[in-house]
Structure 1
Amino acid sequence: MVRRFPKTCVRRGAAAPAVIALIALLAVAGAVWMIWFRGDRTSEESARERASEIFSVIKGSFDITVPASGELAAFNQIEIRNPIQGRAVITYIAPEGATVKRGEVLIRLADEEIRNSVKDAELNELTAQNAVTAAQKSLEIQISQNDSRLQQAQLKVELAELALEQWERGEVEAERQRLTLALEKAERELVRLTEKYEESAKLLEREFISKDEFKRDEIAKIEAEAQLLKAKLDREVYEQYQYKRDRKQKESDVQQAKDELERVRTQNEAELVKATDDLKTKEGQLEIRRSRLADLRKQLEGCVTVAPADGLVVYASSLETGGGMRGNNTSPPQVGTELRPNELVIILPDVSQMIAAVMVHESLAGRIKPGQQATVVPDSAQSTTLSGRVYNVGVLAQSGGWRDPNRRDYTVRIALENAGSLGLKPSMRCKAEIFLDRVTDAQFVPIQAVFRETGRTSVYVAQGSGFVQKEVKIGRTSEIYAEVVEGLSLGDRVLLREPRATEIIAKLPPVPPMAAMNNGDAANGPMSGGVTPPTTPLAGGGSAPGANGGESPGARPGGTINLMAQFDTDGDGKLQKSELPAQMQGMFERLDANSDGAIDESEIAAMRNRAGSGGGRPGASEPRGPGNNATRGEQPGSSP
């Protein structure tokens, strides 16, 4: 079958080459236009980029500050613990996050068991009180009995002494007189009867008397002699035996009375001590029971805990440390929760007075002193800048954790002013700048423009289409600017990065080794104003090291700054604009190449690659903060 094409189709097929030629011509024209437009656009971008990398030396003032980040905390906070020693079950608890006034109920605990314990303790106290009263009466009786027994014993001693004295001065003298009188009487009677006997003998010879009468006189004489012997014997027996026996007996009576007195005193003392100790024991038991009762009553009062001051209710279970003793992973306290004795239940921070607890690298901590001024910007209110002063600096440094175990930071607490009306809460993130010093009436350049090598510090000054390396002397430095003491003039235009090899017109000659050694101490030593010079190169976007001569926080080898390690406060591997210091936020859009609202490691690496050629030193970084005036829409060389 033969297919016939219409005539119109044949005419269109003949015109096809012309159409194709026209399309090709338009494509070539479009390509030429695109190349021209893109080249023009690239030239404009290059010019803008070049302008942003140049800074004109100016004269003015700048602050030396230390940037830091951390979190807010209450200046004062009150811990609310469970005061109940026994079983404590929550029947009411104030909701977490609520703001309470002084006197409002925070926690209410079940109190039936404690009320029963209070009743038992009251009965025990009454029993102990009665026991004390009985012990007091017993002591009084014992004291009275002791007095009676002591008086009786003292009376016996006195009577025995009187009996001894009476015997010595009365009975002994009377007995001696009686014996002496009897002896004298016997002697006289013997003399009389002897004379009578002799007279009777004479009368008997004359037979004037009878013999019987004579015998009676003889017997009387013999009896008188015997009576005299008896009187002498009585006297001798008395002096040798009776007197001594009686004396010993009397003295023994006195001594026994005295011994009895001592025994009574000792016994009285023992009985008094016993009665006194018994009273003390009873009083001690009463005190224990009173203390127990007071403790139970206090615990009964503790069943209702009220806020001692205004504050924000924060459950201890919400703390990172797991302040509630029930464990770190427990649910928050609620009705029915059983608490342990002295368990931390609520933290009541006083949000009317806040502090910012920020972390400062150990190399800078030595320069921070209490009383220094500071500014704090809470992440929750980034449009608000709070004033404050350094309250104290932590004693011990804290580790950088698993991300940077060799890092050591000190906690600096900044007391905020007029922060009570902003609704700030503890643990809110914040950024701070601590004012160390102010440089006035000085020429300065951004810190990124300054490079340092052994024995020399230099900058690259724009000249024509390239840059000339020029040696300078640097004074005090901040996180952003460096004071130029010598080597530059007002209006000199310096490069804010390390130049590419093709951009360098002239370089300084290498420093001779001996000169480098001689100048090493001066180059590495402290700058004027007591600020240590920057690390090599300063154009790494870093700050000068601190008083300890260590690297800046997050420093990389070669003197550059690990921006991610320093400013990534939430640890997500990206830098948000709010995480950067205020002086660096102006360059955020330029660094955020893909405009996703965050800067990652690849964008930081790309920025470093743009900043330096392949043969340059690594680490040449972007201008930091206000040092890059062009990024803020300002002309290079304008005053900060």
Structure 2
Amino acid sequence: MSWIKSRKFILFLVLSLCAAGGVLLYLKIQESRAAGRKQESKAPDRIYKVKSGDMVIGIMLKGSVNARTKHKLALEAPFSTKLIKVVDENAKVKAGDIIAEFETSDLLIKIDDYKLTIEQTKKDLAISKEERDVLISTNNEDLRTARDKVTECEDAYIRYVRLEGPRDRDTQELAVSDAEKELSESSDALNTARDNYYNKVFSDTTEEKTARQAVETAEKKVQSAQTKLNSARLAKKLFKRYTYPNKLQDLRNRLAQAKLGYEKTRVRTQSMLTQKDNQIYRLELTIRNNERQLESHASWVPMMQLLAPVSGIVTYGDPDRFWGNPEVKVGMDGRRKQVIITIPDMSKMIVDVNLPEQYRSKVAIDDPVIITPDSIQTIKIKGSIESIAALPVNIIPWDKSTPKIYRTIVTFRDNNPKIVSGMSVQVEVVSKILRNVIHIPIEAVFEEGGQLLVYRKALAGPEKVSVKIGASSDSAVEILEGLKEGDEVFLYRPFQAKMN
């Protein structure tokens, strides 16, 4: 029994909690509806008071205010560095202010290295030029020595051919002639001695002995003269066959060696001088290259500071680039020609407009426009179409399926300090202006059963009024019949709003 009672109690408790939750949810819903009705009662009706005035007929386009001139600042020096200082974005600067600085320590070290290299290379160049002067003197001395050797060998050769050779040949011939003469004389003396010995009758033995000794002596002289003649003839033959040709060949060889030595000396000295000239040229080229690098690096030092060319407001990156702009912050890598800061010239503003391709035939250069900022609808500024691109392009360049537009530039006729770069505006291209006509916003006109009507405000509530319209634009329509100036019309269907 106790278990049954406990079960009933738990069931009763659950039902009670559910009932309490339902009551609370109902009260919450009723409170929310009451708040909504209260809010609706406070919301004013969108009503337009009909008035007479000038009505602009044209095309409504979207545009963006831009500066005609944008001063884009980037690191011009082709040197790897880092950003160490930059002004805040949207900060106002004056012309000549330092707005960004890049780290220069590595650049200054590089400049000092070039200076040291140039100084050392100039010293090496001076030494090389002195060595070249010494080398020229040494080369001249070596060439003179080699030339003298050639001259000496030529003189020895010519002297032997013209003087010494013929002289030695004549000496040999003279020796043979003397030996022949001596042999002839000895032979005659021998014959005389023999005649005296064999044909004379001697008176005593002593005289005979003397005559016989004379014959023997004459025979010895003949033998000696014959030996001398043979020796002279042999010497002459050796001179003609061996001594003279060998001596002549030796002198020719010495002359050829002397000429070859001179040529070697000339080539060697010329090569050494050329090597020295090349060394000097390389040193001079190194100096010129380092001086050029020094001049370039020194010219980069002022580039490490970006100065404001005009007074204006700082913006980071390049506003004309849709992607690829760097994150400008201290410590970022500095790259040549990478725009990090842009200062637009606010004194000359334009509006960039994308003119749809279907409207191109309705718009021409110098057409008047009315410019209305999206953020300040009360401002109306007059302008004109300055230029229209010759060819259409896709809104998204890489997507060929997107609509095509003509890049169009609109200029302001008057300057307004409230107009700033980057502001979104509506550009109404004026094709015609209707003077002193009744017109209302286009959203106040409705169609029912093939008739155009408006909801006019009356004491008894909204009433339907048929109207006849004239010209219309993207935002307004001319009323020819049905309304008068001062009437108030709803910009929505009031009955439908109440039903909702």
Structures share fold, TM-score greater than 0.5: yes
Conserved? CA contact 1:89–1:109, under 8 Å: yes
The match for 1:88 is: 82
One-letter amino acid matched to 2:237:
E
CA distance in 2, matches of 1:282, 1:367: 72
The match for 2:125 is: 132
CA distance in 1, matches of 2:60, 2:149: 98
Alpha carbons of 1:589 and 1:401: their partners in 2 closer, same or farther (altered >3 Å)? farther
The match for 1:270 is: 271
Conserved? CA contact 1:362–1:410, under 8 Å: yes
The match for 2:150 is: 157
CA distance in 2, matches of 1:419, 1:151: 93
Partner of 1:321: helix, strand, or coil? coil
* Alignment partner of 1:397 is 2:248: no
Q: State the TM-score, normalizing by the size of structure 2.
A: 0.63
Equivalent residue for 1:383, pick from 375, 381, 384: 381
CA distance in 2, matches of 1:244, 1:624: 130
Partner of 2:150: helix, strand, or coil? helix
The match for 1:592 is: 443
Alpha carbons of 1:73 and 1:239: their partners in 2 closer, same or farther (altered >3 Å)? farther
Alpha carbons of 1:234 and 1:297: their partners in 2 closer, same or farther (altered >3 Å)? same
Partner of 1:210: helix, strand, or coil? helix
CA distance in 1, matches of 2:163, 2:410: 102
- Compute the displacement of 1:296 (Å): 4.0
Q: Which of the two has higher C-alpha Rg?
A: 2
The match for 1:147 is: 140
Partner of 2:405: helix, strand, or coil? strand
Q: What is the aligned residue count? A: 392
- Compute the displacement of 1:253 (Å): 1.4
* Alignment partner of 1:347 is 2:342: yes
Conserved? CA contact 1:132–1:283, under 8 Å: yes
CA distance in 2, matches of 1:200, 1:367: 160
The match for 1:172 is: 165
1:373-432: CA deviation from partner (whole Å, max 9, x where unpaired): 565665557422146355x646x83345899934233435x59698899797655556xx
* Alignment partner of 1:196 is 2:189: yes
CA distance in 1, matches of 2:192, 2:339: 133
Conserved? CA contact 2:183–2:229, under 8 Å: yes
CA distance in 2, matches of 1:403, 1:260: 83
CA distance in 2, matches of 1:239, 1:588: 143
- Compute the displacement of 1:316 (Å): 0.8
Equivalent residue for 2:407, pick from 408, 411, 433: 411
CA distance in 1, matches of 2:479, 2:242: 137
Partner of 2:444: helix, strand, or coil? coil
1:165-203: CA deviation from partner (whole Å, max 9, x where unpaired): 222112112112212222222222222222222222212
* Alignment partner of 1:581 is 2:432: no
**Where do residues 331-342 of structure 1 align in structure 2 (5 Å cutoff)?**
332-333=328-329, 336-342=330-336
The match for 2:235 is: 234
CA distance in 2, matches of 1:140, 1:386: 79
**Where do residues 334-483 of structure 1 align in structure 2 (5 Å cutoff)?**
336-342=330-336, 343-349=338-344, 357-360=352-355, 379-380=372-373, 382-386=380-384, 388-389=386-387, 393=390, 397-400=393-396, 405-411=401-407, 414=409, 427-428=422-423
CA distance in 2, matches of 1:98, 1:83: 26
The match for 1:214 is: 215
The match for 1:290 is: 291
Partner of 1:345: helix, strand, or coil? strand
CA distance in 1, matches of 2:183, 2:362: 133
One-letter amino acid matched to 1:275:
K
More strand by share: 2
The match for 1:248 is: 249
Partner of 2:284: helix, strand, or coil? helix
Q: State the TM-score, normalizing by the size of structure 1.
A: 0.51
CA distance in 1, matches of 2:415, 2:225: 134
Partner of 2:301: helix, strand, or coil? helix
Report sequence identity in percent. 15
- Compute the displacement of 1:95 (Å): 5.4
**Where do residues 546-557 of structure 1 align in structure 2 (5 Å cutoff)?**
none
1:507-540: CA deviation from partner (whole Å, max 9, x where unpaired): xxxxxxxxxxxxxxxxxxxxxxxxxxxxxxxxxx
CA distance in 2, matches of 1:346, 1:313: 7
CA distance in 1, matches of 2:91, 2:480: 40
- Compute the displacement of 1:322 (Å): 4.4
Alpha carbons of 1:187 and 1:429: their partners in 2 closer, same or farther (altered >3 Å)? farther
One-letter amino acid matched to 2:441:
R
- Compute the displacement of 1:358 (Å): 4.1
**Where do residues 529-548 of structure 1 align in structure 2 (5 Å cutoff)?**
none
Conserved? CA contact 1:73–1:357, under 8 Å: no
CA distance in 2, matches of 1:424, 1:215: 157
- Compute the displacement of 1:244 (Å): 1.6
CA distance in 2, matches of 1:403, 1:253: 92
Conserved? CA contact 2:176–2:229, under 8 Å: yes
RMSD, aligned CA? 4.6
Alpha carbons of 1:582 and 1:374: their partners in 2 closer, same or farther (altered >3 Å)? closer
Q: Which has the higher contact order (CA 8 A, sep 6+)?
A: 2
The match for 2:303 is: 302
